[in-house]
Amino acid sequence: MHRLHAILERLSQGLLLLASLTMAAATLIVFGGTIARYGFSQPLAWGPDVIGYLMCLMVLLAIPVLTLRGGHVSIDILVDFLPGTRSRRLLHRLLAFASAITLALLCKILLDATLQAWKTGAGTAAGFPLPRWWFFAAMFAGFALSALIFLVQAVAPERPAAALQHPQKDV
């Protein structure tokens, strides 16, 4: 199982690298657009659309790293009421399994949408349209890897999740 954790970590880091590159590209476009607008009075008409696309891709590609590190927003009120580590681990495993199933179902929908957009050549509805399948594919990649991470956490968690590290309150 340790090897599977290492593979998921590497894949997540690869998607995080792509997310970082999209952020860098968006930053360069903002910088270039500012120079073009105020330096040459020629704004980049396509800039805002492409920046929006890049920001969406950045978020979608970073999801697996957040899943792996327990970095998502969580509501831990139920965890606070559970006595002991064993019940918290059980709850974490059940929620991880439910999350994996939910993401797997979303992946099926996204796979169908990606293939449909690929076949039809559907584009985004903006001034600078791009193929829609790019975004569906990025969403599929992020959700599929997150589903695998949740499944591994449900079956055999290697390290404690963020919810299990919740400190005990002294009353």
pTM, full prediction: 0.78
Beta-carbon count within 10 A of 101 CB: 14
- What span, in angstroms and rounded, lies between the C-alpha atoms of 60 and 99? 16
Mean pLDDT of the chain: 85
pLDDT of residue 149: 92
The model's pLDDT over 5-64, given as tens digits with 9 standing for 90+, comes to 888 889 999 999 999 999 999 999 999 999 999 999 999 988 888 898 899 889 989 999
According to DSSP, residue 128 is labeled S
Q: Can you tell me the distance from the alpha carbon of 65 to that of 69, in angstroms, rounded to the nearest whole number? A: 6
pLDDT at 82: 79
Query: Residue 158 — very low, low, confident or very high, per pLDDT cuts 50/70/90?
Result: low
In angstroms, the CA 66 to CA 71 distance is 5
pLDDT at 109 > cutoff 90: yes
- Rounded Cα distance between 21 and 16, Å, is 9
Per-residue model confidence (pLDDT) at position 157: 65
